[in-house]
Amino acid sequence: MPRIHVLGASGSGTSTLGQAVAARLECPHHDTDDFLWVASDPPYQRTRPMPDRLHRLHAELVRSRDWVLSGSLVGWGNTLVPLFDLVVFITLDPALRMARLRAREQARYGARIGPGGDMAADHAMFMGWAEAYDTAGPDQRSRVLHDAWLAALPCPVLRLDSAAEPADLAAAVLDRLPG
C-alpha cells in the first residue's frame, strides 16, 4: 500500500499529479494547503498553528493504508517523513510554470486579482514569491530548500519534469512504486 508525497514549485502541477496518481491507485488524495491554511475568503490569509495542522494531517493520513499527499510540508511536516514510501519531486521550466500559474489564478479568482480587485495586492505578492522559487535561497520555499530537504530523505525520490502529460507522469510514479 503506497504512501506517496508529491511536491514542487507552485504551478508545477503537484495537485494535478497527486490527484491523477490517487485516482489510478483508488486511494485518498490530500493537499497540504488544506491543512496549512485556515479556510477564508479571500483565501490564504492565516496559517493554522503548527501543532494543529500536524495533528489534522496526521489524523487524515493514518485513516488510510495508502494515500497521495501533494504540496510542500518542508519546514513544518518533517515528523511525517517516516510515513512516506516514495517522494515525487516535479519541476517545470520557470516560464511555463509561471504561465500555468497565471492561468490557474485567473480561472480561480477572475476580476478579484485584477486591478482594483479585493485580492490584487495579495495576488501580486504571491506571484512574486512563486516566481522567485528557482532563484531564492533557503529562507523561503525554493528549489534550494527543496533540494536540501530531498537529499536528506530516507525513502526513494523520483524526479520528473511536469511538462509531460499527467497520465504519463502518473504512469512513471506507479512504475517506481516499491514492491
Domain membership of residue 57 (yes or no) is yes
- 125, part of any domain: no
User: What is the predicted pLDDT for the residue at 68?
Assistant: 98
Q: Say if residue 1's pLDDT is above 90.
A: no
The count of structural domains within the chain is 1
Measured CA to CA, the distance from residue 29 to residue 42 in angstroms comes to 24
Residue 120 falls within a domain, yes or no?
A: no
pLDDT at 133: 97
Tell me the pLDDT tens digit for each residue of 102-129.
Answer: 999 999 999 999 999 999 999 999 999 9
Asked if residue 108 is part of any domain, the answer here is no
82 in a structural domain: yes
pTM for the model: 0.95
Show the domain range for 156.
Answer: 3-92+137-170
Query: Tell me: the pLDDT tens digits for 16-45?
Result: 999 999 999 999 999 999 999 999 999 999
Q: Which pLDDT belongs to residue 179?
A: 66
In angstroms, rounded to a whole number, what is the distance separating the alpha carbons of residues 63 and 2? 14
178 vs 11, higher pLDDT: 11
- Does residue 76 sit within a domain? yes
Which pLDDT belongs to residue 144? 96
At 47-103, the pLDDT tens digits run: 999 999 999 999 999 999 999 999 999 989 999 999 999 999 999 999 999 999 999
Express each pLDDT in 128-179 by its tens digit. Answer: 999 999 999 999 999 999 999 999 999 999 999 999 999 999 999 999 996 6
Residue 127 lies in a domain: no
Dist. CA 71–CA 31, nearest whole Å: 6
How high is the pLDDT of residue 46?
96
Cβ neighbourhood burial of 163 (10 Å; 0-12, 13-18, 19+): middle
We report the CATH number of the domain holding residue 153 as 3.40.50.300
In a domain, 178, yes or no: no
